[in-house]
């Protein structure tokens, strides 16, 4: 019952998930193979959105809860690495695709 109740409570998210799955498929289904790597790298940067969760963990940590403080701090660093590194690497890859004028 717990599971069913949970599903019903979050039914809007479940709709959202299903739509997002199809959107994700649709958005990239016509990508040329040249762009596979940059696209993967770009997607890699986007899932860095997990940083938002890390910020929430960090921001909610009580000042005397050292475990949460330390782990939250680590997770903020990890998430930032994912975001910053991901976007910068993707940009560097795509920089190479610039069309040169002769």
Partner 1 sequence: MEKYIVDIVYLIGSISFIIGLKMLSHPDTARRGNLYAAAGMIIAILATIFLDKTIGNYLWIFGGIAIGTIIGWIAAKKVKMTAMPQMVSLFNGMGGACASVISIVEYTRHDFSHGGAAFVAIIMAGLIIGTVSFAGSMIAFGKLNGNIGDKVFPGQKFINLVILLAAVSLAVYLSIQHHGDDTLLIVTLGIAVLYGIMFVMPIGGADMPVVISLLNSFTGVAAAFGGFVYNNQVMLTGGILVGSAGTILTILMCKAMNRSLFNVIAGAFGNTSGTSSSGDKQQGTVKEISVSDAAVLLAYSKKVFIVPGYGLAVAQAQHTCHELEKLLEDKGVEVKYAIHPVAGRMPGHMNVLLAEADVPYDKLLEMEDANSEMPNTDVSIIIGANDVVNPAARHDQSSPIYGMPILDVDKSANVIVMKRSMAAGYAGIENELFYYPNTRMLFGDAKASLTKLVSEVKAL
Give residues 34-73 in contact with partner 1 (rule: CB under 8 A).
34-61, 63, 67-69, 71-73
> Is the CB of residue 84 less than 8 Å from the CB of residue 45?
no
CB of 32 to partner 1, least distance (A): 7
Q: Kindly tell me which residue out of 10, 11, 15, 66 binds partner 1, with binding defined by CB under 8 A.
A: 10
Cα angle, residue 88 at apex, residues 84 and 90 outer, rounded to 5°: 120
Asked if residue 32 binds partner 1 (CB under 8 A), the reply is yes
CB of 45 to partner 1, least distance (A): 7
> Is the CB of residue 31 less than 8 Å from the CB of residue 86?
no
Q: Which residues 6+ apart lie within 8 Å of 62 measured at CB? A: 68
Of 78-97, binders to partner 1 (CB under 8 A) are 78-97
CB of 11 to partner 1, least distance (A): 13
* CA distances from residue 39 to 19, 26, 47, 62, 89 in whole angstroms, order as listed: 21, 14, 12, 39, 11
Q: Kindly tell me which residue out of 6, 11, 15, 66 binds partner 1, with binding defined by CB under 8 A.
A: 6
Asked if residue 8 binds partner 1 (CB under 8 A), the reply is no
């Amino acid at each position: 019952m717990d599971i069913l109740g949970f599903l019903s409570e979050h039914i809007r998210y479940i709709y959202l998930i299903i739509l997002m799955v199809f959107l994700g498929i649709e958005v990239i289904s016509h990508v040329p193979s040249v762009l596979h790597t940059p696209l993967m790298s770009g997607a890699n940067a986007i899932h860095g959105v997990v940083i938002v969760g890390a910020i929430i963990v960090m921001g909610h940590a009580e000042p005397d809860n050292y475990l949460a403080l330390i782990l939250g701090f680590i997770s903020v660093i990890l998430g930032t690495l994912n975001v910053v590194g991901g976007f910068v690497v993707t940009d560097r890859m795509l920089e190479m695709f610039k069309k040169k004028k002769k």
